[in-house]
Amino acid sequence: MKAVILVGGQATRLLPLTHNTPKAMVPVLNTPFLEHVISHLASHHIRDIVLALGRLAHSIESYLGDGSRFGVSIKYALEKDPLGTAGAVKNAASYLDDTFLVLNGDIFTDLDITAMTDLHRNRKAKATIALTPVEDPSAYGLIETDATSRVLNFLEKPNKDEITTNMINAGTYVLEPDVLNQVPPGMKCSFEREVFPKLLADGELVCAYASPSYWIDIGTPSKYLQLHFDLLNGKCRQHNPAPGHEVSIGENTDIHPTARIKGPAVIGASCYIGPKAKISGPATIGDGCAIREGSVIEKSIIWRNARLEPHATVKKSIIADNCYLHSGCLCEESVLGDNVTVARDCHLTPGSSIEPGTTV
């Protein structure tokens, strides 16, 4: 079976991290997000993948190529303008001639795709939608079903007095190719608001696959940070690189004997961790970083080639590529885009979001 991954969104909620990096390529435990998704598909024997691309497509294509390096085959369908979830898949229709899978490109999950596909085929459904439970469903699309998993109704972002279920659309679909007949070519169209309700109105069988699998939308910095905490603490069964108190260290990384590292943590290749530096997990440090004497990192994500001068402190923050933190500075609950410089003894206010290339 083929899979279409929707990676054409603007990723505005994840700014400033996505100013130069498409959301699909933001590092998750030092590996691009999309590579995790592809690995998950391959584990369910899905190796024919179509990427529906938009902004910053070149960086995705140059990294993934034809997919052979990852044991899959990848094709690309480029959107000149945003087409919505259904419009983007319609734009890739020439690759789709049988039952296929659609995944929203900002969802990290260990959903049992095989079981979901089996349900779809056994019920001979026209479309099957993955569902996941959430504590507060008011910001999502609710789906009401009967006892046989047949979808009865869709309710997009309901008021609190309209909520009848906590099961939401989890952004993964199994579809028959003729579903795309509902989608006008070259026009913006949504599965959630237009296509699926139309299928119900036409009497087609739309099923739901409810799952307690790990699921998170990484569309905001806080959710992106939470994903790392969850993975490092072993909350996702498929991705468990450094569970509990373990520390993973990349090749050619030099750690001074007096440095203290408390896991769970992932430290990339060719890093330097200086004397009396302290790293407290859950934490991720990308390749080529230099953490100088007495610097402190707590519950944070640091991308590649960051430099922390002596006694710099980073707490509950996200630091993108090539940032330079001078001695004595403090970044707490902050997000720094690429190439940000933080001046000596500067204390960023919690909640700070610093645009790429800025000096503060």
Percent of the chain with pLDDT strictly greater than 70: 97
pLDDT over 80 (residue 8): yes
pLDDT at residue 176 in the model: 97
> Which amino acid does the sequence have at 49?
I
Over residues 167-180, mean pLDDT: 94
pLDDT at residue 88 in the model: 95
- Segment 58-103, tens digit of pLDDT: 999 999 999 999 999 999 999 888 899 999 999 999 999 999 999 9
256 vs 212, which has greater pLDDT? 256
pLDDT at residue 240 in the model: 55
pTM: 0.92
Percent of the chain with pLDDT strictly greater than 90: 80
pLDDT at residue 360 in the model: 95
Q: Where are the domains of the chain?
A: 2-219, 247-354
pLDDT at residue 265 in the model: 95
Kindly report which listed range (135-149, 210-224, 327-341) carries the lowest average pLDDT score.
Answer: 135-149
Cβ neighbours around 160 below 10 Å, total = 8
The pair of three-digit structure tokens given for residue 249, joined into one six-digit string: 């260290």
pLDDT at residue 120 in the model: 97
| Residue for token pair 């419009």 | 87
Distances in Å between the Cα of 299 and the Cα atoms of 215, 282, 291 are 21, 5, 15
Domain spanning 247-354, CATH class? mainly beta
- Segment 233-274, tens digit of pLDDT: 888 876 655 555 689 999 999 999 999 999 899 999 999 999
- Segment 301-320, tens digit of pLDDT: 999 999 999 999 999 999 99
pLDDT at residue 239 in the model: 60
pLDDT over 70 (residue 3): yes
Domain formed by 2-219, architecture: Alpha-Beta Complex (3.90)
Three-state DSSP class for residue 37: helix
